[in-house]
Structure 1
């Protein structure tokens, strides 16, 4: 155990002395009925710009194809609804991947892929969320009276990082979580009163970073955050393939890197928070173009497209290399660079926030809170990512300190 006066001891003291009640503020909790359709669920999440919501068992019969039942649960009802778990964008997209024939898509050119995905998306939109194949439990439930008196360290360790119900399977789904990103509190009557996320905890800790002692001033390298290779894709990789990779690796994001390995974008679940079922066809697009469209711009990498060809076709990689090697492309790229602000991520319409291996934990927390991020990529002077610091990584470090 860390000595009280040591750097680790200061962090431990901060977490142990702080009660969860210090983080609680009045809030409206958005819930979704288990009888809601995929389409209704996506629209509720997009309208509130949230990645997940608690699911309650709604009154009435099962949801039928075409969407039956209200997406949101009754607000202020006298009788507390039965809570089934959480549902998030990742659950929905993972379930959609199980609906499509990935091999058939791999053999199809981009336009045919888009048509297949649009057709599958239209059918998937009407499915009832409680009947989906891949559902998880990316959340934890806690009685409010107990949570208010629990220390922040207990909440982080027992709630987010080692949830007691991590093996619980909701709705008969297939996904379980070793780590969760949010917890919901319910009052004595069983009504949901708060949803606390990892981001909320990180923000509170940042506001009290001076109480963390030397740990906050140590570099992320010295704190052991840089470990293993950063999983990445090229911008010409279809967005659907990037999603499949994320599912296989059980991660929430991949870096998008150019031919030199420099990061030019971040493709994450957060980027998909406003996607609708009718937009699933766009997942056939190259991930660089998909991100650019999401951010209302054009992908700069396609400044000089080849006549009669599409960057997302079956020979996309070869075609892009030929374009990159051409004199015309180099001229166009130079002119584009002069026209555009060349900050990291500009090519896909993002503003990437990165840090160096020498950055302190305090500096990384500042970037995360100021920009409302879930991760920061650690890059060298050439913007080649050598690590990534996530909210979960930070909580693990702090609670183990």
Structure 2
């Protein structure tokens, strides 16, 4: 827990900086509510984003594209749609009970067939929709401090405009700003806030050197799955627990990978069948590599006594794994330790464009996870 002395400098920084000071020119991607699931996923994948505002199709459009006109006004915006909404709707569409007893190949066929039908659905007709975003007037931004935006915008959204209205958000990860002409001008995210803090580390005072353990980031339980867990089951677990990621761990408890909504930012409907794969193989496929898995590790272990070459290969493999966790699935998994400083955590998040970092003890066993929301809550609520 941050003490008052640690909190003072960062509170001053956030209170003395207005939102408008951190804004940069940008193009805001929006999509029509008449777009299909397939069109929406392709727009998100093309821009490598997880979410975007949805514009009602009653607005005047100059073409038949799935993306909306840049001059669309906020009065015509129905809210946000994100990949999590789409995948949650797909899980409801496919019928989880039918999949529970099915083996992998049958699951794959079911998912492919359901995915083909689901791809053509209009996004405004999806069953599970929320609004992982909030709307704010640009005029007010010049008078609004970063602390106000973090507290009232990201952590305690007071006026979330819900598209579909079937999922309640207690925290949002992005804000859409609109000007006096009611045109969308900016999307600002929690990541932008973290980047600002990193760029102003020298103004954050003692909290920058406080450790993860001192700040209380080790509380709570890390939700985990094994590499052989089907990706679909991992998704269902995330949906049930209302979380955006799970740690993938080996039998020893050491972390192997991170499976999160962010890992699905390039998925399109024709790939839904791959969700039947073990999560380790699914992640390797997404990262363009081949997942060897632990069967090969076992074979290598049994071969150690057979030849010196096998022992050398095995030892080298273990060293590689220790130095670069996540390599088995093509990830460069970034972790920290309980003694890592707050500044070091910010550095890892910003330079690796992460939404979370796992805190690991000996043997790379995860003992905590630090998300962007955790950091922002710590800074404004103590």
TM-score range relative to shorter protein: over 0.9
Measured in 2, the distance between the counterparts of 1:329 and 1:359 equals 36
Q: Given the alignment, which residue of 313, 324, 328 partners 1:335? A: 313
Measured in 2, the distance between the counterparts of 1:393 and 1:330 equals 47
CA gap of 1:17–1:295, structure 2 versus 1, over 3 A, is same
Measured in 2, the distance between the counterparts of 1:209 and 1:347 equals 34
Q: 1:30: which partner in 2?
A: 29
Measured in 2, the distance between the counterparts of 1:336 and 1:106 equals 36
| Contact residue 237 and residue 286 of structure 1 kept, 8 A | yes
| Contact residue 300 and residue 314 of structure 2 kept, 8 A | no
Q: Given the alignment, which residue of 202, 213, 225 partners 2:194? A: 202
Q: 2:65: which partner in 1?
A: 70
TM-score normalised by structure 1 residue count: 0.88
Q: Given the alignment, which residue of 143, 152, 156 partners 2:150? A: 156
Deviation at 1:335, TM superposition (A): 3.3
Q: 1:376: which partner in 2?
A: 357
CA gap of 1:15–1:96, structure 2 versus 1, over 3 A, is same
SS for the counterpart of 1:236 is: coil
CA gap of 1:354–1:330, structure 2 versus 1, over 3 A, is farther
Q: 1:264: which partner in 2?
A: 256
| Contact residue 78 and residue 162 of structure 2 kept, 8 A | no
Measured in 2, the distance between the counterparts of 1:114 and 1:333 equals 38
CA gap of 1:69–1:95, structure 2 versus 1, over 3 A, is farther
Aligned length: 373
CA gap of 1:329–1:149, structure 2 versus 1, over 3 A, is farther
Measured against aligned partners, the alpha-carbon deviations of 1:303-331 in whole angstroms (never above 9, x if no partner) come to: 649xxxxxxxxxxxxxxxxx679825998
SS for the counterpart of 1:245 is: helix
Deviation at 1:21, TM superposition (A): 1.1
| Contact residue 114 and residue 282 of structure 1 kept, 8 A | yes
Question: Unpaired segments of 5 or more residues in structure 2?
Answer: none
| Contact residue 58 and residue 81 of structure 1 kept, 8 A | no
| Contact residue 110 and residue 284 of structure 1 kept, 8 A | yes
Measured in 1, the distance between the counterparts of 2:31 and 2:245 equals 25
In the alignment, structure 1 residue 44 sits paired with structure 2 residue 67: no
Q: 1:398: which partner in 2?
A: 379
RMSD of aligned alpha carbons: 2.4
SS for the counterpart of 2:158 is: coil
Q: 1:165: which partner in 2?
A: 159
Measured against aligned partners, the alpha-carbon deviations of 1:93-152 in whole angstroms (never above 9, x if no partner) come to: 001010112122111111110000000000000001111010001000001000222000
SS for the counterpart of 1:94 is: helix
Deviation at 1:88, TM superposition (A): 0.4
SS for the counterpart of 1:84 is: strand
Q: 1:2-401 residue pairs with structure 2 within 5 A?
A: 6-59=5-58, 70-76=65-71, 82-166=76-160, 169-171=162-164, 173-301=165-293, 304=296, 327=302, 335=313, 338=316, 341-342=320-321, 343-401=324-382
Measured in 1, the distance between the counterparts of 2:83 and 2:41 equals 8
Deviation at 1:52, TM superposition (A): 0.3
Measured in 2, the distance between the counterparts of 1:298 and 1:329 equals 23
TM-score normalised by structure 2 residue count: 0.92
| Contact residue 303 and residue 333 of structure 1 kept, 8 A | no
Measured against aligned partners, the alpha-carbon deviations of 1:124-183 in whole angstroms (never above 9, x if no partner) come to: 0000111101000100000100022200000000000000025x5422x41111000000
SS for the counterpart of 1:149 is: coil
| Contact residue 52 and residue 87 of structure 1 kept, 8 A | yes
SS for the counterpart of 1:164 is: coil
SS for the counterpart of 1:289 is: helix
Measured against aligned partners, the alpha-carbon deviations of 1:46-100 in whole angstroms (never above 9, x if no partner) come to: 0000000011112379xxxxxx9632101236x6661110000000000101011
Deviation at 1:300, TM superposition (A): 2.1
CA gap of 1:49–1:363, structure 2 versus 1, over 3 A, is same
Measured in 1, the distance between the counterparts of 2:366 and 2:312 equals 24
Question: Unpaired segments of 5 or more residues in structure 1?
Answer: 62-67, 306-322
